[in-house]
Amino acid sequence: MYCYNQATSMDHVIPFARGGADDLSNLVPICGRCNRLKGDRTPVEWATRVFMNDRWSGDGTVQGGGRPGGLSLRELHTKAHEEGLEVLDAVEKVLTEIANVERWRWFLWSTSINYPGTVGIEFYRSFMQDRIKVAEAAGWPEVRPAHYRT
């Protein structure tokens, strides 16, 4: 859920090694690449690292900063903070979806797969966005809408 790649495993949002729960209250789908890169970081630590690495050259200069009209370190920090909050919003939205029994049932019904599983919610967010919108507007109906009959 941290990117648009298909999820292949589940991520402990707060790393298990750092006290995160080992149940659905702390698990979201994640792709292999994000899983390796996130490691034992919290979402905020990870987002901050990605954001700063994108803008920190390693030689003491900051892309977009350090020159007239560029970003100050404080502004960089503020932007990284905002990015971290966006990641947290996304994580909490997915956790809410997972905890939503109606939605969970809808996914089970519409996919005939177990969720969470190797093909997670991100697959449907990427490829079934229209179906999700229709189903959400209809209150996650158990009866298949006529226009989806095949």
Concatenating the DSSP letter of every residue in 3-67 gives: SSSPP-EEEESS-GGGT--SSGGGEEEE-HHHHHHHTT--HHHHHHHHHHHHHB-SSS-BTTBSS
Residue nearest to Zn ion (CB): 34
Q: Is 126 in the site for Zn ion (CB under 5 A)?
A: no
Given 1, 28, 31, 98, the residue binding Zn ion (CB under 5 A): 31
Which residue has tokens 């920190």?
A: 56
| Binding track, positions 55-94, relative to Zn ion; x by CB under 5 A | ----------------------------------------
The answer for residues whose C-beta is within 8 angstroms of residue 144's C-beta and 6 or more apart is: none
Q: Is 35 in the site for Zn ion (CB under 5 A)?
A: no
Distance of closest approach, residue 49 Cβ to Zn ion, in angstroms: 15
Query: Which 5-24 residues touch Zn ion, going by CB under 5 A?
Result: 5
Q: Are 71 and 65 in contact (CB under 8 A)?
A: yes
Distance of closest approach, residue 67 Cβ to Zn ion, in angstroms: 33
